[in-house]
Structure 1
Amino acid sequence: MSSPSPKPQQAQKSKAPQSSDTLYESRKKLYVRAVTGVFANWRWALVWITQILFYGLPWLSWNDRQAVLFHLAERKFYIFGTVFWPQDVFFLAILLIISAYALFFFTAIAGRLWCGYACPQTVYTEIFMWIEQKIEGDHIRRQKLDQAPMSANKLFRRSAKFLVWGLVALWTGFTFVAYFSPTSELLEAARTFSFGPWELFWILFYGAFTFLFAGVLREQVCKYMCPYARFQAVMFDPDTLVITYDEARGEPRGVRKKGVDPRSLGKGDCIDCGICVQVCPTGIDIRDGLQYECIGCAACIDACDQVMDKMNYPRGLIRYTTENALKKNWGNKEIVAHVFRPRTLIYGTVLAVVCLAFVWGLASRDPLRVDVIRDRASLAREVEGGQIENVYRLHVMNMAESTRTFTFEVSGLPGVKIAGGPPRIEVGPASTQSVTLQVLVPYDAGKPGSNEIEFLITAEDDPSLSLREETTFLLPR
């Protein structure tokens, strides 16, 4: 068997300070080794899916507008055929609840799935590390390049890497802003370099943080800045699937030749090659047990399985398993059976109920809304013919994706009518239109003071789409 490849410098397990002068140990740069395997393929599949969605959605059109646009200036969120208004903040609250319970549910089942496969920090770190590997080489070449004196080759590779990183970061910032400002306007602004101050700020700000987090800080974001790493363990229990080193099978670890029975040497299956540490994006040794720095990416599983294959040992020395499964020597059948336990059933039930409530709320949402506002500058006045006039301003919100014409009627008092006859207004798709109505009532039609009346707003093309809004009519005392 060939000798193991040189090990790149890795961050060592943190130790307690030896004196009051060493409260902080400076970061040791990680040279993460590339790995292939089942979980690496899943991770890259999620990278492709998330980035196709992120970079692609702002370019899609829907009914002559951007398909997904959070238009802050208009105070409207467009998501394909649905338009959300400020009055729909209820749905935002439900989405936050869904996100929270989805996190609780999947974390209780299999640990930090979000962190390991879909978190933007993980996704962009994977992308930036891939770029770095293509330009500077593998983990050994990168370490040698860092340690080498400045040369034309080093300057060229560093410059090329930073240039590509910068372009990716700027395009990411541009795409982020495109969710809040129409893409067509941003493209024109880019062509003439006439961005608004806030657009330019957010493009540079988001791009700079993408560059900093994915290219420079990397594992430090997960270890020190992300709050989820600090509290995620409270959602674990002995039946949560986590990445685990099988200590009973692997210890005592030690090097040996291929084909030698480790039991004859008094050793376990772990050959102490250290590759599981080399591929870890946070630089931890999974053999030391569950640690908060572990993001659950399963790179160590892929690496260890490849080593086990070369040694002709069974796979799974490092694997997804549970604390109870290790203690009680459970197989996959028992592990799966314990996925459905009280904690996950409660999380799953709440998640399902809230999701159904969200879908029901969207499906039953009224496509027409009307706000009635009394003209407070002229509460009630007498006009010709001995009639009393009240003035109202109606804000009509057409929440549908097509232009509609609405008619107005009023009822509630004898002889009540709208001056000039029933009006008609045309409201564009996902638009608001205001109309001022002068309502007339005979002087003796009701009691002095406040009287109830009702406006009926009806869509001409669909009489079933109507809305009744109650208000009050003031008669002088």
Structure 2
Amino acid sequence: MKFDIKEEDMIIKPYKQEGPIYIREQKGFFQKIRRYLGWILMFVFIAIPWIPYKDQQAVLLDVASQQFRIFGQTFLPHDFMILAWVFMAGAFGLFFVTNWLGRVWCGYTCPQTIWMLMFTWVEHRIEGTRNQRIKLDKSDWSTKKAVRKVAKHAVWLVISVFTATSFMAYFVPAKTLYIEMFTLEWSGLVSFWVFLFAFCTYGNAGFLREKMCTVACPYSRFQSVMFDKDTLVVAYDALRGENRGRRKRKSDHKAQGLGDCVDCNLCVEVCPAGIDIRNGLQYECINCGLCIDACDDTMGKFGYAKGLIKYTSENQDAGKKSSPFRLKLLGYASLFVAILVTMTIWAFNRTPIEASVIRDRNALYRVNYEGLVENPYTLSVINKTQQAMQYNVSFSGIDNAHLTTPEKIEIQAGKMLLIPVTIATDGYGLKGKRTPITFTISADEDSSISITKESYFYKN
């Protein structure tokens, strides 16, 4: 097939026209998936802080007290290694999905995309369709225009404040946060963070919009490194679509030398990034599938086969078979699984108690009035559970020795306690000047909660 392409059509155009992007609302298969998934993710985001667990908030990242409670597990600052594992697992999981399905994270699950399209949905309901919004912005200021603009921004601000408050509920107990909000008793620190996050949401989703994806977000810049010839991307079938041009529905476009693209421009009007997918693969494309739904809708009206714009890969376009067992994809999957296994093993071996043995370096031992050799120790014990626990201390390694400890050892949830203990024995029964011993700290309520720490007993 010969294409009649004019010289001016070969000039590389910018990814979008200057000025604001007016997104046309579009219905369709991929839009339905994205919208339902977005509502589910927003519901989960809002609901998590309200989930109770053993009369407490199930997920609470209490920065002030340096305790991070997640469904009965309390993580302290020295447990932050798990945070590194989570970030690494998330990174390799994202790399795996990107190599397999392209930028579906950006198009379907990225918070910026979800909130941007939610703000657009509000804008559509208040100011009207795309053409009505363009006309409204070009018109002179009037009472009608002012009312609609104020109403839109008011709804945006409400959504932004509610989003920021929901986010703060992960760091401040949700019930306390909302009670203090309605009674106007927020502290200065809480108010600062809520309004900062609200301002960021309002600015990013309401004004910056696609610029966050095309300019600020680094992911769009390096995601192509993870692509290969089998990665699914949104692509326009130029062989089938060109030469593009307008025509009547019942006309024979083949006889007119036209391809299936009717040049309706809907694929551009529905794109959140404002790009023309017919210009080829562009880093601004977020793989949201809105242009696919718009094009399929148009193809259906003209009686043409759907799929002029579709999810495809370079190999599929060339008629080759895509292999799921490619090295890069398997490598990302293997690293992702390996990190998850490591995290599971670490979590399984993690005990809800932490302890260390501290010795007085100035006095390794002393002889008491009974002639027995004494060694003083200080046990630093951290209760990593979410309730107060009582503990007992025992030791092994020396026969006929006496251990002196406080009568009652009770540690509050997430707190550390320094416990002074002393071991006394007859030094003549020991071989050598240093004898290895083992302390065991266990919970009275649950014997499975215990930890052992090794140290030494010294004599002259």
Q: Tell me whether the two structures share a fold, i.e. TM-score over 0.5.
A: yes
In 2, the alpha carbon distance for the partners of 1:114 and 1:161 equals: 28
In 2, the alpha carbon distance for the partners of 1:377 and 1:123 equals: 62
In 2, the alpha carbon distance for the partners of 1:197 and 1:322 equals: 52
Residue 191 (structure 2) aligned to one of 175, 185, 200: 200
- Kindly provide the CA deviation profile for residues 450-477 of structure 1, in whole angstroms up to 9, marking residues without a partner as x: 54222122333444543221123343x4
In 2, the alpha carbon distance for the partners of 1:173 and 1:464 equals: 41
In structure 2, the residue matched to 1:472 is: 456
| Contact 1:407-1:423 within 8 A present in 2 as well | no
Residue 43 (structure 1) aligned to one of 34, 46, 50: 34
In 2, the alpha carbon distance for the partners of 1:120 and 1:461 equals: 44
Residue 354 (structure 2) pairs with residue 369 (structure 1): yes
Residue 216 (structure 2) pairs with residue 225 (structure 1): yes
Residue 270 (structure 2) pairs with residue 285 (structure 1): no
3-state SS of paired residue (1:29): coil
3-state SS of paired residue (1:371): strand
In 2, the alpha carbon distance for the partners of 1:136 and 1:72 equals: 42
Deviation of 1:62 (Å): 1.0
| Contact 2:351-2:450 within 8 A present in 1 as well | no
Moved more, 304-313 or 36-45: 36-45
3-state SS of paired residue (1:253): coil
Deviation of 1:432 (Å): 4.1
Residue 436 (structure 1) aligned to one of 416, 420, 440: 420
CA 196–378 in structure 1, closer or farther in 2 if over 3 Å, else same: farther
In structure 2, the residue matched to 1:130 is: 121
In 2, the alpha carbon distance for the partners of 1:235 and 1:120 equals: 22
In 1, the alpha carbon distance for the partners of 2:13 and 2:110 equals: 25
Deviation of 1:183 (Å): 1.6
In 2, the alpha carbon distance for the partners of 1:62 and 1:377 equals: 47
CA 468–110 in structure 1, closer or farther in 2 if over 3 Å, else same: same
Residue 76 (structure 2) pairs with residue 85 (structure 1): yes
In 1, the alpha carbon distance for the partners of 2:141 and 2:434 equals: 86
Residue 264 (structure 2) pairs with residue 263 (structure 1): no
Q: Extract unaligned runs of 5+ from structure 1.
A: 1-11, 16-24
In 1, the alpha carbon distance for the partners of 2:387 and 2:192 equals: 35
CA 135–449 in structure 1, closer or farther in 2 if over 3 Å, else same: farther
In 1, the alpha carbon distance for the partners of 2:100 and 2:17 equals: 36
Residue 352 (structure 1) aligned to one of 337, 360, 367: 337
**Counterpart residue identity of residue 106, structure 1:** V
Larger RCO (CA under 8 A, 6+ residues apart): 2
In structure 2, the residue matched to 1:166 is: 157
In structure 2, the residue matched to 1:382 is: 367
CA 77–169 in structure 1, closer or farther in 2 if over 3 Å, else same: same
| Contact 1:410-1:417 within 8 A present in 2 as well | no
- Cα RMSD (Å) of the superposition? 2.3
CA 77–27 in structure 1, closer or farther in 2 if over 3 Å, else same: farther
| Contact 1:410-1:416 within 8 A present in 2 as well | no
Deviation of 1:288 (Å): 0.1
Deviation of 1:208 (Å): 0.3
- Kindly provide the CA deviation profile for residues 101-142 of structure 1, in whole angstroms up to 9, marking residues without a partner as x: 111100001110110011111011011111111111111111
CA 161–346 in structure 1, closer or farther in 2 if over 3 Å, else same: same
Deviation of 1:423 (Å): 4.6
In structure 1, the residue matched to 2:111 is: 120
What does residue range 169-248 of structure 1 map to in structure 2 within 5 Å? 169-248=160-239
In 1, the alpha carbon distance for the partners of 2:103 and 2:45 equals: 22
3-state SS of paired residue (1:265): coil
3-state SS of paired residue (1:262): coil
**Counterpart residue identity of residue 14, structure 1:** P
3-state SS of paired residue (2:176): helix
In 2, the alpha carbon distance for the partners of 1:153 and 1:66 equals: 46
In structure 2, the residue matched to 1:22 is: none
**Counterpart residue identity of residue 63, structure 1:** K
Residue 55 (structure 2) pairs with residue 102 (structure 1): no
In structure 2, the residue matched to 1:393 is: 378
Q: Extract unaligned runs of 5+ from structure 2.
A: 1-11
Deviation of 1:445 (Å): 5.0
Deviation of 1:176 (Å): 1.3
Residue 444 (structure 2) pairs with residue 454 (structure 1): no
CA 169–464 in structure 1, closer or farther in 2 if over 3 Å, else same: closer
In structure 2, the residue matched to 1:64 is: 55
Deviation of 1:181 (Å): 1.5
**Counterpart residue identity of residue 467, structure 1:** I
TM-score for both structures, normalised by structure 1: 0.88
| Contact 2:357-2:378 within 8 A present in 1 as well | yes
In 2, the alpha carbon distance for the partners of 1:377 and 1:60 equals: 51
TM-score for both structures, normalised by structure 2: 0.91
In 1, the alpha carbon distance for the partners of 2:107 and 2:186 equals: 36
In 2, the alpha carbon distance for the partners of 1:472 and 1:27 equals: 75
3-state SS of paired residue (1:396): strand
In 1, the alpha carbon distance for the partners of 2:174 and 2:361 equals: 42
3-state SS of paired residue (2:93): helix
| Contact 1:279-1:303 within 8 A present in 2 as well | yes
- Kindly provide the CA deviation profile for residues 79-113 of structure 1, in whole angstroms up to 9, marking residues without a partner as x: 11322222322221211111111111000011101
Deviation of 1:404 (Å): 4.1
| Contact 1:411-1:417 within 8 A present in 2 as well | no
Deviation of 1:47 (Å): 1.1
CA 94–293 in structure 1, closer or farther in 2 if over 3 Å, else same: same
3-state SS of paired residue (2:305): coil
Paired-residue identity, %: 39
In 1, the alpha carbon distance for the partners of 2:245 and 2:218 equals: 37
**Counterpart residue identity of residue 162, structure 2:** W
- Kindly provide the CA deviation profile for residues 153-212 of structure 1, in whole angstroms up to 9, marking residues without a partner as x: 111111111111111111111111111111233224323433233222211111100000
In 2, the alpha carbon distance for the partners of 1:27 and 1:381 equals: 83
- Kindly provide the CA deviation profile for residues 46-93 of structure 1, in whole angstroms up to 9, marking residues without a partner as x: 211111111111112111111111111222211113222223222212
In structure 1, the residue matched to 2:327 is: 342
Moved more, 448-457 or 358-367: 448-457
In structure 2, the residue matched to 1:14 is: 14
In 2, the alpha carbon distance for the partners of 1:246 and 1:234 equals: 23
Moved more, 424-433 or 84-93: 424-433
Aligned length: 449
